[in-house]
């Protein structure tokens, strides 16, 4: 049985209803950081883990508080803190060639481990190394283990190179949950695994997932009521981080869905930092993570040209819910395994290409754009081939730009703007040619 | 150099330069129906390929002998060099002798390269080899066993014959001999690096990527014997160093020569680590697939792409320094190599705890200028000789 969802007080007055979900999310994040700051005094245990393949329901069923270093890094990037952190890590011997999330995190730690909003982050009681879709994760937590001298629970998630979940892959993950992860959770918390609590959490996850999918798929409307990339990264925030399987998460997605439903009814375009976008000129699919250090500037390059992203792969790194997956309370550990296996970066390139092709068709995109980030080989290797093959398969023009996640040295504003403007000009000319044909 | 060694060396050099896989084609043409399977670094269970009657062929890129024309169009500038030269070779038809390709789990680059191969060469057999990072026999072992079962089935289909347990036992024994010969060579070099200089020994190791293991073992043993007869190879006062970071993209031969000329004897390294990934013998009797599983779980080399559950990163490096009486470590990693470069701070910390000198630089497989490396390695060697207690 699912627990009751507590009613959440309106975070903002009724006359700003459209932005209520944003303020609600901000409140959730602030509350979570505050809880983390209090954790050592309150005796609560803290687990650091990653977004892809995260086990939030399991952690929450043990009353563990998750910390997601990727989220800290990207938020540090958005708050212009990451550049200093990265330099701090490089001074300590970390190569300029490697992932800037890792260096941002190490630099943040070396500068006192203050969260991006300024609160104190507690050290981990356990590092949950969900090794899903990214090689760097393994080295990242080995580096953190060296810094914190704390235990690690390794969860190896096999790669879905052929896009299929094999029974022995699922079994392998379930066995690791039983023999490695759960015993370590039990050890640090002194509590036994409680499957009924897990089932309650999973039921809440599925409810939030339904609403998230509805929101993401609302972009099939013309005009799209959402931007599924720049706006999408906010929409995935709670479910990809600490709030999957929580009443607060369910409430957030219920609120968000209601807002988007209203925009659909009113035939409104997406909200942007500069207000609602009114003129939808180009519908795009985007592959790859965004740049975080110049996020608003980057977004502006799109919305000021009337370009809306109708589907993106980045919003699937923490789960491919829009292709049908839901956490299933009737098979708690197996469903966690399936979830981990299906995260976007854990899929082979052919599966990724199929997905992007489906997005271009289903969302009636005029084009697709790849933002290739230096830090993330998991995303980036093969993107130039994907660009070619996606153009061949769909006949839709592709664009390619390069930046980084949180290293400001690799965001060349003028270059990127030039490329994007040229790309939009090309889309415009193609459209003009079609109309005149 | 005596003629016998010169002949052997010429053979090894020829294989080193054989980017068109002429040796593989010759092997295939020697009997009807023969097939060859390529594999990238680091580890694949070559015994299974061999037991199917096929030739395992190690692919380590094009080195400094391939002009990249098409490969660069597929990779961004911040990605290491081995995938672009490997793809260059494939697109130019120079890997056409291969009937399949295996891509081991080592990093996201090689992993995604497996997907690129599937997209670019849809008719070729391509498999990603995802080794376990859990070493509990009941968990990671059970998973690896199922993966090997699948691989065995697929290779059997490709070979057109089933791989029987006895086939596999024979292959395990043959690879045990090969690894034994490599271990002997490493020990010999560690004792007398002036007799078995790395720049030369490396060529004989590289031959193991193309030759059938039986033939490679014979070549290694002949080299051990013939090089040992070179009376004019005399001990020189050079520093003894361990070289690490070269387990995947290989350095140009000129770099290894440069290190020696700069005063460094390499006494241990992780070059071509896949050839000796399993450190001891794999049991021959009993369930051969189970023996391969056990060997992987308990006899694998420690390296950056393999999870270290005990948190003792760098222990193997310190142990290597001690057991080889090395005086320092050179971190020599390819540019943009995630495993090597992410791990480096941990290894540096391990060395510094033990007071072991180290230096570091990066290379690409097509690096052509060695002046800076020579100066740096020379300075490092001098500093060891001048300031260490020898």
CB A12 within 8 A of CB A32: no
What would the two tokens of residue A48 be? Answer: 């650091």
CA distance B87 to B61: 8
A270: left (phi over 0), alpha (psi -120 to 50) or beta: beta
Q: How far apart are alpha carbons A398 and A387 in whole angstroms?
A: 6
Q: Which residues of A touch B134 (CB under 8 A)?
A: 154, 156, 172, 176, 180
Residue of B142, B134, B131, B169 whose CA lies nearest to B308: B134
Cβ of B128 within 8 Å of Cβ of A161? The answer is yes
Contact between A348 and A354 under an 8 Å Cβ cutoff? The reply is: no
| N residues, chain B | 390
pLDDT tens-digit map of B13-31: 999 999 999 999 999 999 9
Average pLDDT over residues A31-42: 97
Output the six-digit token pair for B327.
């005086």
Which pLDDT tens digit goes with each residue over B94-142?
Answer: 999 999 999 999 999 999 999 999 999 999 999 999 999 999 999 999 9
Instruction: Give the rounded distance of the alpha carbon of A25 from its chain centre.
Output: 14
Give percent of chain A above pLDDT 70.
Answer: 96
Answer for the pair A406, A77: CB distance below 8 angstroms, yes or no. Answer: yes
CB contact under 8 A, B128 and A159: yes
CB-closest option in B108, B133, B346 to A377: B108
CA–CA distance, A406 with A305 (Å, rounded to integer): 25
**Pick among A127, A371, A381 to test the B interface (most B CBs inside 10 A):** A381
- CB–CB contact B75 A159 (8 Å): no
Average pLDDT over residues A71-84: 97
Contact A92 B345 (CB under 8 A): yes
The neighbour count for residue B89, using CB atoms within 10 Å, is 20
- Out of A92, A372, A382, name the one closest to residue B112 (CB): A382
Task: Give which of A21, A409, A343, A15 is closest to A173, Cα–Cα.
Answer: A343
Of the candidates B83, B307, B345, the beta carbon closest to that of A154 is on B307
The tens digit of pLDDT for each residue in B293-302 reads 999 999 999 9
> pLDDT band at residue B390, thresholds of 50, 70 and 90?
low
- CA of A387: which chain B residue's CA is closest? B74
B337 Cα to chain A: minimum distance (Å): 8
DSSP code, position B223:
H
H or E element that contains A308: strand A307-312
CB A401 within 8 A of CB A370: yes
How confident is residue A435, by pLDDT bands cut at 50, 70 and 90?
Answer: confident
pLDDT tier at B199 (50, 70, 90 boundaries)? very high
| Count of CB atoms situated within 10 Å of the CB of B138 | 10
- Whether domain B29-167 has CATH 3.30.465.10: the reply is no
Using an 8 Å CB-CB cutoff, list chain A residues near B349. Answer: 146
pLDDT value, residue A2: 39
Partner residue opposite B115 with nearest CB, options A140, A154, A161: A161
**pLDDT > 90? residue A188:** yes
Element of type H or E holding B363: strand B358-363
Give the residue among A211, A133, A176, A434 at the shortest CA–CA distance from B135.
Answer: A176
Cα Rg, chain A, nearest whole Å: 21
Q: Which chain B positions have a beta carbon within 8 Å of A93's beta carbon?
A: 344-345, 348
For chain A, what's the residue count? 437
Cβ separation of B335 and A97 shorter than 8 Å? Answer: yes
Using an 8 Å CB-CB cutoff, list chain B residues near A382: 74, 112-113, 115-116, 119
- Tell me how crowded residue B67 is: count the other CB atoms within 10 A of its CB: 10
Is A381 close to B73, i.e. CB distance below 8 A? no
| Secondary structure of B251-296 as H, E, C letters | CCHHHHHHHHHCCEEEEEECCCHHHHCECCCCCCCCCHHHHHHHHH
Q: Do A140 and B114 touch (CB under 8 A)?
A: no
- Give contacts of A415 with chain B, Cβ < 8 Å: none
Distances (CA, A) of A165 to A160, A313, A348, B81, B159: 7, 20, 12, 32, 26
Pairwise CA distance, residues A340 & A110, whole Å = 31
In this complex, the residue of A92, A131, A349 whose CB is nearest that of residue B115 is A349
**Residues of A in Cβ contact (< 8 Å) with B130:** 158-159, 161
Q: Give A175→chain B minimum CA distance, Å.
A: 6
Rounded to a whole number of angstroms, the distance from the CA of B346 to the nearest CA of chain A is: 7
Nearest to residue A53, comparing CAs of A140, A161, A134, A144?
A134
Q: Is the pLDDT of residue A4 over 60?
A: no
In angstroms, what separates the C-alpha of B67 from chain A's closest C-alpha? Answer: 20
Any idea what DSSP says for residue A319?
Answer: -
Q: Decide if B292 contacts B172 (C-beta within 8 A).
A: yes
3 state SS of A1? coil
Q: Which residue of B has its CA nearest to A348?
A: B115
**Residue B362 in 3-state DSSP?**
strand
Cβ atoms B151, B45 nearer than 8 A: yes
- Please give, rounded to a whole number of angstroms, the shortest distance from the CA of A355 to a CA of chain B: 14
How far does the CA of residue A152 sit from the closest CA of chain B (Å)?
A: 8
For chain B, what is the radius of gyration of the CA atoms? 20
Q: What is the mean pLDDT of residues A364-388?
A: 97
Confidence of residue B310 (pLDDT cuts 50, 70, 90): confident
Average pLDDT (A145-173) is: 96
Q: Pull the structure tokens for residue B323.
A: 């057991």
- A18: pLDDT strictly greater than 60: no
In this prediction, residues B354-376 reach a mean pLDDT of 96
Q: Give pLDDT, residue A5.
A: 39
Least Cα distance to A139 among B76, B79, B337, B242 occurs for B337
Q: Are A169 and A158 in contact (CB under 8 A)?
A: yes
Contact check, Cβ <8 Å, A389/B134? no
Strand-strand pairing, A275-276 and A271-272: antiparallel
DSSP bridge partners of A154: A129
pLDDT tens digits, A191-245: 999 999 999 999 999 999 999 999 999 999 999 999 999 999 999 999 999 999 9
Token pair belonging to B139 = 């968990």
Q: Where are the domains of chain B?
A: 29-167
Give how far B167 is from chain A: nearest CA, Å: 26
Q: What is the pLDDT of residue B385?
A: 85
Distance (Å, whole) CA B152 – CA B170: 15
CB of A185 closer than 8 Å to CB of A62: yes
B235/chain A closest Cα distance in angstroms: 36
For residue A402, the chain B residues in CB contact (below 8 A) are 76
Which residues on chain A are in Cβ contact (under 8 Å) with B131? none
pTM, to two decimals: 0.96
In order, the DSSP letters of A95-138 are -TTS-HHHHHHHHHHHTT-B-TTSPBPPPPSEEEEEE-S-THHH
DSSP A362-420: HTT-SEEEEEEETT-HHHHTTHHHHHHHHHHHH---EEEEEE-SS-GGG--HHHHHHHH
Beta sheet of A398-403, edge-to-edge order? A307-312, A282-287, A367-373, A398-403
**Average pLDDT, whole number, for chain A?**
94
The pair of three-digit structure tokens given for residue B54, joined into one six-digit string:
């096929």
Q: Is there a contact between A381 and B113 if contact means CB atoms under 8 Å apart?
A: yes
**Residue A409 is encoded by which pair of tokens?**
């040295």
Q: Which residues of chain A does B146 touch, with a Cβ-Cβ cutoff of 8 Å?
A: 166, 168
How many angstroms separate the Cα of A146 from the Cα of each of A185, A203, B70, B310? 20, 37, 42, 11
Distance between A385 CA and the closest CA of chain B, angstroms: 6
How confident is the model over B159-195, as pLDDT tens digits? 999 999 999 999 999 999 999 999 999 999 999 999 9
Residue-wise pLDDT tens digits, A245-279: 999 999 999 999 999 999 999 999 999 998 899 89
Interface test with A, best of B139, B309, B344 (most A CBs within 10 A): B139
Cβ of A146 within 8 Å of Cβ of B349? The answer is yes
Q: What pLDDT shows up at residue B389? A: 61
Tokens of A11: 């975070």
Average the pLDDT over A394-401 and give the result: 96
Query: Is A352 close to B115, i.e. CB distance below 8 A?
Result: yes
Is ipTM over 0.90? yes
The one-character DSSP state at A304 is T
CA atoms A45, A46, A49, A51: torsion sign: positive
Take residue A378 and report the two structure tokens written for it. 């998991």
Strand partners, B360: B331
* Cβ pair A381:B108 closer than 8 A: yes
Tokens 């500069």 belong to A274
d(CA A70, CA A252): 21
Q: DSSP state, B379?
A: H
Mean pLDDT, all residues of chain B = 96
């Amino acid at each position: 049985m699912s627990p009751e969802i507590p009613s959440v007080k309106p975070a903002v007055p009724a006359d700003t209803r459209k932005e209520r979900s944003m303020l609600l999310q901000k409140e959730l994040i602030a509350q979570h950081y505050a809880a983390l700051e209090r954790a050592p005094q309150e005796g609560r245990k803290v687990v650091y883990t990653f977004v892809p393949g995260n086990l939030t329901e399991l952690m929450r069923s043990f009353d563990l508080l998750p910390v997601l270093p990727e989220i800290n890094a990207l938020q540090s990037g958005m708050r212009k803190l990451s550049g200093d952190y990265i330099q701090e890590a490089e001074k300590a011997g970390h190569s300029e060639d490697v992932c800037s999330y890792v260096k941002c995190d190490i630099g943040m730690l070396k500068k006192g481990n203050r969260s991006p909003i300024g609160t104190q982050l507690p050290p981990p009681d356990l590092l949950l190394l969900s090794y899903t879709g990214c090689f760097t994760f393994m080295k990242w937590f080995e580096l953190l283990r060296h810094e914190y001298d704390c235990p690690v629970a390794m969860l190896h998630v096999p790669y879905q190179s052929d896009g299929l979940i094999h029974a022995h892959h699922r079994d392998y993950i379930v066995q690791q949950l039983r023999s490695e992860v759960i015993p370590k959770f039990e050890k640090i918390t002194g509590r036994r695994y409680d499957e009924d609590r897990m089932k309650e959490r999973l039921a809440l996850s599925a409810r939030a997932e339904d609403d998230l999918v509805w929101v993401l798929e609302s972009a099939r409307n013309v005009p799209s009521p959402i931007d599924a990339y720049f706006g999408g990264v906010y929409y995935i925030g709670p479910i990809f981080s600490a709030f999957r399987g929580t009443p607060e998460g369910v409430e957030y997605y219920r609120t968000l869905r209601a807002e988007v439903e209203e925009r659909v009814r009113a035939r409104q375009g997406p909200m942007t930092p500069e207000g609602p976008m009114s003129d939808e000129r180009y519908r795009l699919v985007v592959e790859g993570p965004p740049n975080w250090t110049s996020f608003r500037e980057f977004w502006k390059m799109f919305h000021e040209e009337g370009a809306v992203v109708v589907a993106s792969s980045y919003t699937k790194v923490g789960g491919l819910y829009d292709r049908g997956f839901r956490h299933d309370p009737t098979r708690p550990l197996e469903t966690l395994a399936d979830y981990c296996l299906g995260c976007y970066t854990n899929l082979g390139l052919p599966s990724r290409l199929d997905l992007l092709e489906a997005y271009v068709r289903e969302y009636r995109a005029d084009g697709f754009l790849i933002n290739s980030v230096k830090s993330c080989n998991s995303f980036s290797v093969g993107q130039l081939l994907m660009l070619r093959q996606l153009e061949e398969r769909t006949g839709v023009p592709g664009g390619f730009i390069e930046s980084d996640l949180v290293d400001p040295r690799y965001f060349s504003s003028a270059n990127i703007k030039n490329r994007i403007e040229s790309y939009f000009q090309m889309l415009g000319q193609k459209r003009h040619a079609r109309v005149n044909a | 150099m005596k003629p016998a060694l010169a002949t052997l060396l010429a053979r090894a050099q020829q294989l080193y330069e054989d980017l068109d896989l002429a040796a593989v084609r010759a092997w295939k043409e020697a009997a009807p129906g023969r097939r060859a399977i390529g594999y990238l670094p680091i580890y694949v269970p070559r015994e299974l390929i061999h037991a199917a009657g096929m030739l395992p062929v190690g692919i380590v890129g094009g080195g400094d002998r391939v002009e990249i024309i098409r490969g660069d169009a597929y990779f961004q500038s911040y990605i290491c060099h081995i995938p672009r030269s490997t793809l260059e070779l494939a697109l130019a038809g120079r890997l056409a002798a291969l009937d399949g390709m295996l891509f081991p789990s080592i990093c996201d680059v090689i992993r995604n390269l497996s997907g690129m191969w599937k997209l670019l060469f849809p008719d070729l057999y391509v498999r990603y080899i995802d080794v376990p990072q859990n070493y509990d026999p009941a968990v990671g072992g059970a998973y690896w066993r199922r993966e090997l079962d699948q691989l065995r089935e697929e290779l059997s289909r490709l070979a057109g014959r089933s791989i029987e347990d006895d086939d596999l036992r024979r292959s395990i024994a043959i690879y045990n001999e090969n690894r034994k010969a490599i271990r002997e060579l490493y020990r010999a070099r560690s004792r007398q690096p002036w007799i078995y200089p790395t720049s030369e020994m490396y060529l004989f190791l590289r031959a193991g990527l193309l030759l059938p293991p039986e033939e490679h073992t014979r070549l290694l043993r002949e080299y051990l014997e013939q090089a040992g007869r070179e009376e004019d190879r005399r001990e020189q006062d050079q520093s003894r160093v361990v070289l690490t970071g070269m387990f995947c993209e290989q350095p140009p031969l000129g770099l290894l020569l440069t290190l020696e000329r700069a005063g460094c004897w390499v006494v241990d390294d992780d070059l071509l680590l896949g050839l000796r990934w399993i450190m001891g013998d794999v049991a021959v009797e009993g369930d051969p697939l189970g023996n391969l599983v056990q060997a992987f779980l308990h006899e694998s080399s420690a390296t950056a792409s393999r999870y270290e559950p005990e948190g003792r990163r760098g222990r193997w490096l310190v142990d290597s320094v001690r057991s080889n009486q090395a005086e320092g470590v050179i971190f020599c990693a390819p540019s943009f190599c995630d495993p090597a470069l992410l791990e480096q701070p941990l290894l540096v910390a391990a060395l510094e705890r033990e007071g072991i000198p180290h230096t570091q630089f990066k290379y690409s497989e097509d690096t052509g200028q060695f002046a800076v490396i020579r100066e740096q390695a020379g300075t490092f060697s001098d500093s060891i000789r001048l300031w260490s207690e020898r």
